[in-house]
A and B are shown apart, each in its own frame.
Chain A
Amino acid sequence: MVTCSADGKPNTTVISQVYYVDETHAALSFQFFSKTIRNVRENPRAYVCVFDIRGRAHWVLQLEFQLSETEGPIFDAMDMQIEAIASMTGMSGIFKLRAADIYRVLSVERLQY
């Protein structure tokens, strides 16, 4: 995921989960990345690349931050998935969902390789 501060510094981070909300919205897991959180509150644009290893493709999403949810059905579903991802990758007790950040999807592009 790439964001950019108001003074023009890009920030790149690895995120655990991109959650499908509906045709025009995605939710990203907010766990540790405080710089990302600060950036999207200053400058709401974000770039996410999702890897599809089996499909030999990358999915590129251009997003715009809308709001942060700390409870509700989206948060609960993501929290459960984060637990599963943490368990699979040996990160139980370290991965902890603080919020589900909801973004509007501006564009989606598939890059085949």
Chain B
Amino acid sequence: MDFIACNTMIPGKIVRFLEQYANVAFAGTRDRDLVPHGHNVCGWCVGADQRTMTAFVPEEFTPGLVEALQENGELAVTVEEFPSHETYQFKGRYLCDRAVRYDDVEIVDRIRRRFVRSLRAIFADVPEDVLNAFVSKPSLAVEFEVREIFLQTPGPGAGTRLIPPVES
């Protein structure tokens, strides 16, 4: 039974995290046999009403993605800031997909710059173009309705559901 209300709103603090600090993300789906599949996410944005998110997926991670989403609608996206490891997981329902637009590419470019800056201390000897290539060009935009948000920052609170709050 699906008991999660459909009016979840992403808090402003988490919107700021997504827009200004987060620099790496990964998405999970599953097929009709409950086999999980992963999809690298190279960018993201929050809908104007703060109830939806759009994840941008590079070409090499699109096989099977839309088929799985159209079949069952289940999507989980984990977004992290490296190296602080502040991490949130967004679970929700697929709404639609489309080809990427020019402004989506600009979002991914900003995230790529943040990510490469964060890696410099660890990969000091790696050429800039190799680090830049890690954040691939987006190919597909997937919009989903956010229904649950979980804290996943390493520590004792990891796994706690933040939205909707867990009733004590």
Contacts and interface: CB of A to CB of B under 8 A. Distances in A.
B38 A12 contact: yes
A4 B159 contact: no
Given A4-B28, A34-B159, 11 more contacts: A2-B30, A2-B37, A8-B30, A8-B72, A12-B27, A12-B28, A35-B159, A48-B38, A49-B26, A54-B126, A62-B35
Chain B interface size, under 10 / 10 to 19 / 20 to 34 / 35 or more: 35 or more
B60 A13 contact: no
Nearest to A9: B74
Contact of B158 (A32, A53, A56): A32
**Closest CB pairs A-B (n = 8):** A2-B28, A32-B158, A12-B28, A10-B28, A2-B36, A4-B30, A12-B78, A4-B36
A32 B27 contact: no
Interface of A: 1-4, 6, 8-14, 31-35, 43, 45-49, 51, 53-54, 56, 58, 60, 62, 88-91, 94-95, 111-113
A32 B58 contact: no
B152 A91 contact: no
A111 B39 CA distance: 12
B130 interface: yes
Interface in B1-51: 26-30, 34-38, 40
Given A33-B158, A89-B85, A91-B85, A12 B126 contact: no
A6 to B, nearest CB: 7
A10 B83 contact: no
A25 to B, nearest CB: 19
B87 interface: yes
Contacts of B78: 12-14
B155 interface: yes
Given A8-B34, A14-B80, A53 B126 contact: yes
Interface in B125-148: 126, 130-131, 133-134, 136
Listed residue (A2, A32, A51) with the most chain B CB atoms within 10 angstroms of its CB: A2
Interface in B84-132: 85, 87, 89, 91, 119, 122-123, 126, 130-131
A53 B134 contact: yes
B44 to A, nearest CB: 13
A106 to B, nearest CB: 10
B38 A94 contact: no
A27 B39 CA distance: 21
Nearest to B83: A89
A53 B130 contact: yes
A54 B26 CA distance: 19
